[in-house]
Amino acid sequence: MKLFALALLLPYVLALSPPIVKIRNSPISLPLALQINATGAQNLLEADRARARMFLETSNDHAKRSSDDTLVAHVAAPSDALSHTLTVGVGTPPTPFTFLLDTAGGLSWIGGSSKKLNSTSSVSNGFILTSGYVNSRTLSTGVVIQTFVHDSFEIDPATVVTSQGFGSAFSITNFQLPPGVDGIMGLGPVDETRGAISIGPFGSTTIPTITDNLFAQGLIPLNQIGLSFEPPSSAETVQGGEVTFGGVNTDKFTGSINFVPVNATGFSRNCWCFQQSIRYGDSTTILPVSVGQLDTKNVFTLLPPPAFAAYQSATGAVLDNTTGLLRVTADQFATMESLYFDIGGVSYELTPEAQTWPTGLNNLIGGDAESQYLIIASLGGSISFPASNTTFINGYSWISRFYTVLDTAHNQVGFALSS
């Protein structure tokens, strides 16, 4: 996430981790919890749109400086209705902190709850990081002010990352993480952290992510993340999937993983962005080849208005005024066709069932208990698309159907059919 910083620069702040002493032979797979908060965003779709708007309309190049030379940037807060979380130990002795995973942000921070970091190994570098957010409930701006520190992260008892840089929040205004969540762990590209330190010689320096440091310290064999998400149910907290640091879990997908390069120019360098086109059935074009991004913290799959209109026409669905989502009757659902996402010459199929929101969670979207809603939604007409043509977001509703690999080493993303 783009941040603005006020600090005295210390030359060792971004010092590299200790020398590699051991290469781990296998990736590390950890379970994720999916927390479902029935009192989440008042309008889940509008929260998604607010988050998307910040990512699609803002880049590091567009950040503006205020009169006090502070780099100002706002990013959208993740929705608190659906949260994938991972618990790791921070500091010495390790204190368990529950992190919300965010593929659109690169920096990690704690302090979103009453839990405090009491560590003998924590080193503060004198930096103050101030992050601007869009509150997912009120859609207004919130602020999180953090000190920038280095400390150990215990991923599991045998895997401890030393000198991990992260923010420790000490002031939070108009922003709240989901209940039981202590912070955010950024899994976005390291370039997304560029500009976090905006003053002095380190202004263009990136801050290593947790995956970067796991690899640099020889704790994982590859600088790569595998993600397996399970579609939600109506339970309050369920097993939500798995994250694999350093490779993939072959039990979680079928067939082969097909990789495509990440678009690395302009805005696209700051996200897991790639090209895709979308068609409905055999031949109805919904979206021509366009650049967009993956975002686990967007619930829906969002398309630009023209593509959304084409999808609505193809399905015959009607726009539900309460939820803002498309709604289909039982007869319409019976005649729906598959939606194909063509990425790198491979077609990824969303069956009619996979295009629908689970009725057991209709309360989260403010919908009627018996109605059938679709997970393909519009980005909204108020978004001005950048010159990079970054026009879609494949959110959790899409990612939960396909095993996803975020490959930092080769600057690419990969997909396979989830098993």
Query: Last residue of some domain: 179, 204, 239?
Result: 239
Q: Say if residue 284 is in the same domain as residue 393.
A: yes
Final residue in a domain of this structure, among 182, 215, 239: 239
pLDDT at 141: 60
The answer to whether residue 182 is catalytic is no
Domain total of the chain: 2
Residue 246 in any domain: the answer is no
In sequence order, the β-bridge partners of residue 8 are: none
Let me know whether 198 and 301 are in one domain: no
169 within a domain of the structure (yes/no): yes
Domain match, 201 and 261 both: no
Query: Is 199 in the same domain as 274?
Result: no
| Same domain for 296 and 234 | no
Q: What SS3 state is found at 330?
A: helix
Work out the burial of residue 370: count CB atoms within 10 Å of its CB; fewer than 13 is exposed, 13-18 middle, 19 or more buried.
exposed
Catalytic residue among 48, 102, 151, 407: 102
Query: Is 14 inside a domain boundary?
Result: no
Q: Are residues 233 and 317 in the same domain?
A: no
Find out whether 142 and 134 touch, Cβ atoms under 8 Å.
Answer: yes
Question: Within this chain, do residues 178 and 88 fall inside the same structural domain, yes or no?
Answer: yes
Q: In Å, how far are 1, 3, 71, 109, 128 from 66, measured between CA atoms?
A: 18, 13, 7, 24, 16
DSSP state of 57: H
Q: DSSP state, 267? A: G
Are the CB atoms for 226 and 418 separated by under 8 Å? no
Return the closest-CA partner of residue 231 out of 399, 104, 95: 399
The catalytically annotated residue of 80, 182, 191, 295 is 295
Residue 99: inside a domain, yes or no? yes
Give me the numbers of helices (H) and strands (E) for the chain, helices first please. 5, 27
Q: Is 80 a catalytic residue?
A: no
Residue 18 lies in a domain: no
Q: Are residues 310 and 402 in the same domain?
A: yes
Considering the domain boundaries, does residue 247 fall inside one?
no
Q: Is residue 339 part of a domain?
A: yes
Residues 399 and 305 in one domain: yes
Distances in Å between the Cα of 29 and the Cα atoms of 43, 96, 126, 180, 397 are 34, 18, 34, 22, 22
* 331: containing domain: 252-418
CATH number, position 327 = 2.40.70.10
Instruction: Choose one of 215, 239, 263: the last residue of a domain.
Output: 239
Per-residue tens of pLDDT for the chain, all 419 residues: 433 333 333 333 333 344 444 555 689 999 998 877 655 445 788 878 877 776 665 543 433 333 233 333 334 445 556 778 999 999 999 999 999 998 877 888 898 788 888 899 999 876 666 565 555 555 556 667 778 889 999 999 999 999 998 888 877 776 778 788 899 898 988 877 766 654 444 555 778 999 999 999 999 999 999 999 988 766 555 668 999 999 999 999 999 999 999 975 555 456 788 999 999 999 899 999 998 889 888 889 999 999 999 999 999 999 999 899 999 999 999 999 999 999 999 999 999 999 999 988 888 888 998 999 999 999 886 555 554 455 899 999 999 999 999 999 999 999 999 98
What whole-number distance in Å separates Cα of residue 288 and Cα of residue 328?
25
Query: With the CA atoms of 316, 322, 325 and 327 taken in that order, what torsion angle do they form, in degrees rounded to the nearest 10?
Result: -30
d(CA 221, CA 159): 13
- The terminus-to-terminus CA distance of the chain in angstroms comes to 32
Q: What sign for the dihedral angle of Cα 219, 222, 227, 228?
A: negative
Identify the CA nearest to 267 among candidates 90, 64, 61: 61
Question: What pTM was computed for the model?
Answer: 0.84
C-alpha distances (whole Å) from 325 to each of 138, 302, 306, 317, 322 are 19, 11, 15, 9, 8
- Are residues 28 and 109 located together in one domain of the fold? yes
> Do 216 and 110 belong together in one domain?
yes
Q: Beta-carbon neighbour count of residue 138 at 10 Å? A: 14
Q: How far apart are CA 273 and CA 104, in angstroms?
A: 10
Q: Are residues 259 and 222 in the same domain?
A: no
Given the structure tokens 């602020």, which residue do they identify?
A: 143
Within a domain: residue 58? yes
